[in-house]
Structure 1
Amino acid sequence: MKRWLRQHRYALAIAVRRLLAQPFSSLSNLLAIALALSVPIVGTAILLAAQPVAREVSVSPEITLFMKRDAPTDAVNDINSKLRNEFSDDVVDTRIVTRQQAYKTLQRNPNWADALSVLPENPLPDSIVVTLAESANLASRADTLVKTWREWSSVDLVQHDSAWVQRLEALLRFVRIGLGLLALGVALVVLATVFNTVRMQALAQREEIAVARLVGATESFVRRPFLYLGALIGLLASLVAIGLSALALSPLNAALAQLARSYGSQLALQLPNGASLALATLAVVILGAISALWSVNRNTRF
C-alpha cells in the first residue's frame, strides 16, 4: 500500500513539475478550457433563473367560456357547477361574469363607451372565467379541456390562447437542448486541448521515457504522470471557470436587477449548487484523464 501511494505521489509531483515548467503554455491551455467551461455554467445559471419565472407566469392560465345568447337563464350556473364538480382536478377556480357586468366594464372604458352608446341593447353574453391548475403538461391539457367544453350545447365560444404556454415550454426545451449540445462541444474542447498538451509533453520527454524503459520502468509507471497531468489540467480549468462565471454574473445581475425593477419584480442569476458544480468538475477531471490516456498511448510508441 505504501509503495502504491509513493508511486502515485511521485507521479503527481512529476505532473505538477511538468505543468510549471512551461507556465505560459500551461496558462494558455487552462484559460482556453476555462473559458469554454464558463459558457455552459453561465447558461445553466440563466436557465435556473428562468424556470421559476416561467412557473410564475404560467401559474394561473385562464380559459373563458362564452354562453349562447339564447341559452337558458340558469345554464351559466349549471355549467359553473359542472366545471367545479366534474373537473375539480383541472380547475382551481371559476368566476361568472354576467352580461350586465361585462357591459358596465366596457362602458367605463373610454375606447368602448361611444361604440356601445349607439347599440340598441347589450350584445355581450354571459361568460365563465376558468382558472386552471398548474401541471407539467399544461398546454396539452388545456387544449384537451377546450375541445371538451366546446361541445357543450349552451357554450358558444371557448377562448384560450395556449400559444404563449407552448412557446414558453418550447423556449425552455430549446435552451436545455442547446446547453446539452454546448456541454458536448466543451467536452470536445477539453479532450482536444488536453490531448495536444500531453502530446507535446510526451514528445518533449521522449528521451527521458526511453531511458526509463531501458532501466525497467513499466508502462503504467511511464504513463501515470501524464494521466495526472490531464486530470490536473481539468481540475484547475474547472476551478478557474467557476471563478470566471462568478465574476461574469456580477455585472449581469446588476443589469438584470434594473430590468426586473422596471417590471416590479426581483430576479438574480446564481451559480448552480455546489453538488452540481462538484459533479461537473469531476466529469471534466475524468475527461482530462481519458484524453491524456489516449494521447500518451498514441504518442509514446517509440
Structure 2
Amino acid sequence: MPMFKLDNYLLRHAQVALTSLGELWRQPLSSTMTILVIGIALSLPAGLFVLLKNVEQLSGEWQQASRISVFLKAEVSDSHGQQLVDQLTNWPAINNIEFQSAAASLAEFRQLSGLGEVIDTLPHNPLPAVIIIEPAEQDISSHSHQDLLERLQQLAEVEQAQLDLQWLLRLQQLRQTGERGIAVLAALLSLSVLLVIGNTIRLAILNRQSEIKVIKLVGGTNTFVRRPFLYTGFWYGLIGGLIAWITVLIGLAIISGPINKLALLYESQFSLQWLAGQLLIFLPAAGILLGTGGAWLAVSRHLDAIEPS
C-alpha cells in the first residue's frame, strides 16, 4: 500500500511536470523570450568565469618561469662575479643560479638585436655581468620573493636586482579584481532572473485566477495549486541554463581559434580550456534553482490573495 501511494504521488508530479512543459510549448513566443533572457543572463558571468580561469591557468604557467636578474656593477670582474655566485648558491631561498659574463651579455644582445655593426663601434662593453636566479619559492605573490630581492639589492657588488615577472603581480591583482566583479555581476543577473521568472509566473497566476478559485472551491489545497507554477519555473530555469551553456560554448568556439594562433606565435603550449562538463552541470542547476525560487516567491505572494467568494 505505501508503495502504491508513492507511485501515485510520483505519477501526479510527472503529469503536472509534463502539463507545465506543454503550457510553455503552446505559448512559443513568450516562452522563448523568457528562456532567452534567462540564458543570456546566466551565460554572461559563466563566460567571464571561463575566461578568468584561463587567465589563471596562463599566469600559473608564467609563474613557474619566474626569475630574478641581478645586474652587477661595471667594476665587478668575472672572477669576482663567479665568487659571488658560489656564495649565493648556499642561500636556501635560491633554487638555481646561473652566471652570465659581460661579454656573454653583449654577444646575446648582438644576436637578438641584429645591431652587430653598431655594437662594433662602441668604445667599450656597456652591458654588465648578470646573475640569473631561480627562487626556491615559485609563488611570486609570496613575501619571500620581495625579501630575496631586498637581500640581493643590499650586496655591495649589485647594481640592481629585478624580478623578471614583476608585471605578473599586477596581472594577479587584476585577476582578483575580476573575480569580485564577476561575483557582483552574477549576483545582479541572478536577481534579474528571479524578477523575470517571478513576473512571468505572476502573469500566469492572474490569467488562471478563475481556475484557481474553482480548484480552491472544490477543496484544492495551496500545495496542489502551487505545484504547476513551480514546475513552470523549473522548466524555465532548466531550459534557460541549457541555452546559457550553448551560448558560452558558441562564444568560446568563436574566440578559440585566434587565441590558439596567438599562443603559437609566442611558442606557447597554452590552449583554451572550455570547462564544458562543469558548465553543463552548473548552469542548468543554477537555472533550476533560480527558476523554482522565483516561481515560489511569486506564488507565495499572490496565491493567498486569490480566494473563492
Query: Could you state the TM-score of these two structures normalised by the residue count of structure 1?
Result: 0.85
Residues 22-31 or 8-17, more deviating: 8-17
Residues 228-237 or 269-278, more deviating: 269-278
- Say whether residues 1:42 and 2:47 are aligned partners: yes
Q: Distance in 1 between matches of 2:140 and 2:107?
A: 37
Q: 1:78 to 1:261 in 2, by over 3 A?
A: closer
One-letter amino acid of the counterpart of residue 195, structure 1: G
**Map 1:221-260 → 2, pairs under 5 A:** 221-260=224-263
The alpha-carbon deviation at position 267 of structure 1 amounts to 4.9
Q: Distance in 2 between matches of 1:152 and 1:250?
A: 52
Equivalent residue of 2:69, what SS?
A: strand
Equivalent residue of 1:271, what SS?
A: coil
Q: Would the aligned equivalents of 1:146 and 1:158 in 2 still touch at CA under 8 Å?
A: yes
Q: Would the aligned equivalents of 2:69 and 2:164 in 1 still touch at CA under 8 Å?
A: no
Q: Distance in 2 between matches of 1:267 and 1:110?
A: 34
1:201-243: per-residue Cα shift (whole Å, max 9, x none)?
A: 1001101111111111111111111111111110011112212
The alpha-carbon deviation at position 198 of structure 1 amounts to 0.5
Q: Distance in 2 between matches of 1:93 and 1:148?
A: 16
Q: Would the aligned equivalents of 2:245 and 2:283 in 1 still touch at CA under 8 Å?
A: no
What's 1:20 paired with?
A: 25
One-letter amino acid of the counterpart of residue 290, structure 1: G
The alpha-carbon deviation at position 104 of structure 1 amounts to 4.9
The alpha-carbon deviation at position 30 of structure 1 amounts to 0.4
One-letter amino acid of the counterpart of residue 297, structure 2: W
Q: Would the aligned equivalents of 1:150 and 1:156 in 2 still touch at CA under 8 Å?
A: yes
1:244-278: per-residue Cα shift (whole Å, max 9, x none)?
A: 22223222223333433443446543432424431
1:160-185: per-residue Cα shift (whole Å, max 9, x none)?
A: 35541122212322332232222212
The alpha-carbon deviation at position 34 of structure 1 amounts to 0.9
What's 2:160 paired with?
A: 157
Query: Could you state the TM-score of these two structures normalised by the residue count of structure 2?
Result: 0.83
Q: 1:220 to 1:128 in 2, by over 3 A?
A: same
Residues 125-134 or 217-226, more deviating: 125-134
**Map 1:23-102 → 2, pairs under 5 A:** 23-68=28-73, 75-87=80-92, 90-102=93-105
What's 2:116 paired with?
A: 110
Q: Would the aligned equivalents of 1:227 and 1:293 in 2 still touch at CA under 8 Å?
A: yes
Residues 176-185 or 29-38, more deviating: 176-185
Gaps of 5+ in 2: 1-5
1:145-168: per-residue Cα shift (whole Å, max 9, x none)?
A: 111222233333323355411222
Residues 158-167 or 184-193, more deviating: 158-167
Q: Would the aligned equivalents of 1:41 and 1:272 in 2 still touch at CA under 8 Å?
A: no
One-letter amino acid of the counterpart of residue 47, structure 2: V
Q: 1:51 to 1:187 in 2, by over 3 A?
A: same
The alpha-carbon deviation at position 187 of structure 1 amounts to 0.8
Q: 1:129 to 1:258 in 2, by over 3 A?
A: closer
Q: Distance in 1 between matches of 2:290 and 2:107?
A: 68
Q: Would the aligned equivalents of 1:106 and 1:112 in 2 still touch at CA under 8 Å?
A: no
Task: Give the CA RMSD over aligned residues.
Answer: 2.7
